[in-house]
Structure 1
Amino acid sequence: MLKNQNSISAKYAWTSGLIFVLLLLAVKANFGMLLKVDTGIIAVVQGSMSAFESSLMTIISHIAEPSLAIVYAVVIAGVLWFMQLRVDAIWAIVTLGGGDVLAYIVKKLAARPRPHWNQVIPETGYSFPSGHTFGTVIIIFFLLWFFVSQLRHSGVQKLCEVILIVWVVLVMYSRVYLGAHYPSDVFGAFFLAVAWLAIARWLYKKLYDFVAQFVEKDIGGKHSQH
C-alpha cells in the first residue's frame, strides 16, 4: 500500500529538517529572542484559562500520551498485518520506535528545562522536543497514508484529513496551554517528526524487497507487490 503512494517531498523534508536544527541550536544556546517569543505566546495562550478548557486540554493531552502512541502504532500494525501488508506493518512499528529513540536522544542533547510557571499538570524530564506532539504527528501520518488515502469518497477523505490536522493542532496547543512545553518545543517536535518520516519512507523504499522476501513470501507464493 505505502509503496505506491507519494512520499513527503524532498523540499518539505529538507525544510523541516533545517527548521528543526535551527530550533535545536537556538534552544541549546539559550537564544534570548526565542525565549521572548515563547513566553509571549504562552502569555497569550494562558491569558484566559477556564476550568472547562483546562479539563478539555488535559483530556486531549492524556489521549496523546507517548505511551499510548505505541499502542496506537501496534493496533495499526496489527490491522496492516491482517490485511497482509506485512512490510508496512513492520515499517510502522520500526518508524515509531526509531523515532521515539531519536526524540529521546534530542531531549538529552538539548537538556531544556520545562517551563516553570502555570503548570496545570506538573511534568518532569526535559522539554525539547515535545514527545506528545512527535508521537501524534507520526500516528496521524500513519492514518493518512494507510487508511484515509484509501477512502473512495473524496469529500469524506477531505473531512478526515481536516479532522486529523485539527487534532494535531489541538495536541500542540494543549501542551503549551497546560504549561508542559514552550511553543518552540511543540514546533520542534512537529518538524522533527516530518523529517524523520521522510527518512523512514526513503528507507522503506530501499529495504522493501529485502524485508518482503522474509515476511511476505507465503502470500500468493511470493512477496507482495503492494
Structure 2
Amino acid sequence: MLQPRLLVPTAAGLVFLGLVGLIMSGHSFAFDTRLMLLFRDAADPSVPLGPAWFQEAVRDMTAFGSFVGLAFMALTAVLALWLCGYRRLAAGLVVSLLAALVVSNGLKMVIGRERPDIVAHTALTFTASFPSGHAFLSATTLFTIAGFVGLASRRRDIARFCILMAAIIVGLVGLSRIYLGVHWPTDVIGGWCLGIVWASVATAWLGRSMARSDPA
C-alpha cells in the first residue's frame, strides 16, 4: 500500500492530468457554475456574499498568493535557510520556485482557458484561467518551504506544523479566487493538485539531495 506521502501527490497528479485532458477537449463542468454562484447573492449574482469589510478581507487574502506576496515569503525562507548554514537547500528552493513560475505561465498559454464570465470580476486579471496561478504557486511555494524547513530542522513535528499552516493559507487563497469571480473552481483544484505534486517532488528529490550536501 502506498504511504500518504506517495498516495497524496499521486492522486493529485492524476486529478490534474484528468482536468487538463477534459479542459483541452472542450469539456465544461456544470458544478463550476453552481459553486461560483454559491458565493454570490441569489438575487444579483454580480454581488458577492458578505459585507464590504469581508469582501476587502478576501482581497487581502488573495494577495497572499500574488507574485509579490509569495516572493516575500520565499525570500524570508531562503534567507533563513542560508543564514542557518543550509545554503544548498536555500539555492534548491530558489531553483524550484523559479521553475514553477515558468511552468505556471507556460501552462496558461498552452491550455488557454477563458476566465469565468458569469459574474463580474472583483480583481484584475492578466493571464488565462487554467491552472489558477495563485492556487498553484501558493501551494508550490508554501508546501515546498514547509518541506525544506522540515528537512533542515530534522523534526517531524515542525514539518507537520509548517504543512498545516501552509495548507490553511493555500486553501484560503484558492477559495478567494473563486469568491472574487476570477477563476473557475476547477482552475483552483487543478492549481492545488499541481502544486502538491510539484512541492512533493521538489522536497523528495531536490530538497533531500541538497540537505545531504549541507552541514549537519
Equivalent residue, structure 2, for 1:50: 51
- Secondary structure at the aligned position of 1:120 is classed as coil
Q: Give the whole-Å Cα distance in 2 for the aligned partners of 1:94 and 1:198.
A: 15
Task: State whether structure 2 residue 103 is matched by structure 1 residue 102.
Answer: yes
Q: Do the aligned partners of 2:143 and 2:196 also contact (CA within 8 Å) in 1?
A: no
Equivalent residue, structure 2, for 1:186: 188
Q: Give the whole-Å Cα distance in 1 for the aligned partners of 2:150 and 2:77.
A: 13
Task: State whether structure 2 residue 47 is matched by structure 1 residue 30.
Answer: no
Q: Give the whole-Å Cα distance in 2 for the aligned partners of 1:176 and 1:192.
A: 18
Q: Do the aligned partners of 1:112 and 1:126 also contact (CA within 8 Å) in 2?
A: yes
Consecutive unaligned residues of structure 2, counting only runs of 5 or more, are 42-48
The Cα of 1:57 is off from its aligned counterpart by 0.6
Equivalent residue, structure 2, for 1:3: none
Q: Do the aligned partners of 2:149 and 2:159 also contact (CA within 8 Å) in 1?
A: no
The Cα of 1:97 is off from its aligned counterpart by 0.7
Q: Do the aligned partners of 2:32 and 2:185 also contact (CA within 8 Å) in 1?
A: yes
Q: Do the aligned partners of 1:64 and 1:135 also contact (CA within 8 Å) in 2?
A: yes
Equivalent residue, structure 2, for 1:83: 84
Give the TM-score taking structure 1 as reference length: 0.78
Q: Give the whole-Å Cα distance in 1 for the aligned partners of 2:100 and 2:156.
A: 32
Q: Give the whole-Å Cα distance in 2 for the aligned partners of 1:85 and 1:30.
A: 46
% identical aligned pairs: 22
Q: Give the whole-Å Cα distance in 1 for the aligned partners of 2:192 and 2:82.
A: 28
The Cα of 1:62 is off from its aligned counterpart by 1.7
Equivalent residue, structure 2, for 1:20: 16
The Cα of 1:20 is off from its aligned counterpart by 0.4
The size of the alignment, in residue pairs, is: 205
Question: Residue by residue, what CA displacement relative to the aligned partner does 1:28-53 show, whole Å, maximum 9, x if unpaired?
Answer: 12213x2x110110000223243122
Q: Give the whole-Å Cα distance in 2 for the aligned partners of 1:197 and 1:8.
A: 14
Q: Give the whole-Å Cα distance in 2 for the aligned partners of 1:205 and 1:57.
A: 33
Cα RMSD over matched residues? 2.9
Task: State whether structure 2 residue 122 is matched by structure 1 residue 120.
Answer: yes
> 135-144 or 52-61, which moves further after superposition?
135-144
Q: Do the aligned partners of 2:144 and 2:200 also contact (CA within 8 Å) in 1?
A: no
Q: Give the whole-Å Cα distance in 2 for the aligned partners of 1:164 and 1:16.
A: 17
Q: Give the whole-Å Cα distance in 2 for the aligned partners of 1:147 and 1:201.
A: 10
Equivalent residue, structure 2, for 1:164: 166
Give the TM-score taking structure 2 as reference length: 0.82
Distance 1:18-1:159 versus aligned 2 partners, 3 A rule:
closer
Equivalent residue, structure 1, for 2:75: 74
Consecutive unaligned residues of structure 1, counting only runs of 5 or more, are 1-6, 213-223
Counterpart code for 1:15? A
Q: Do the aligned partners of 1:113 and 1:125 also contact (CA within 8 Å) in 2?
A: no
Q: Give the whole-Å Cα distance in 2 for the aligned partners of 1:188 and 1:74.
A: 26
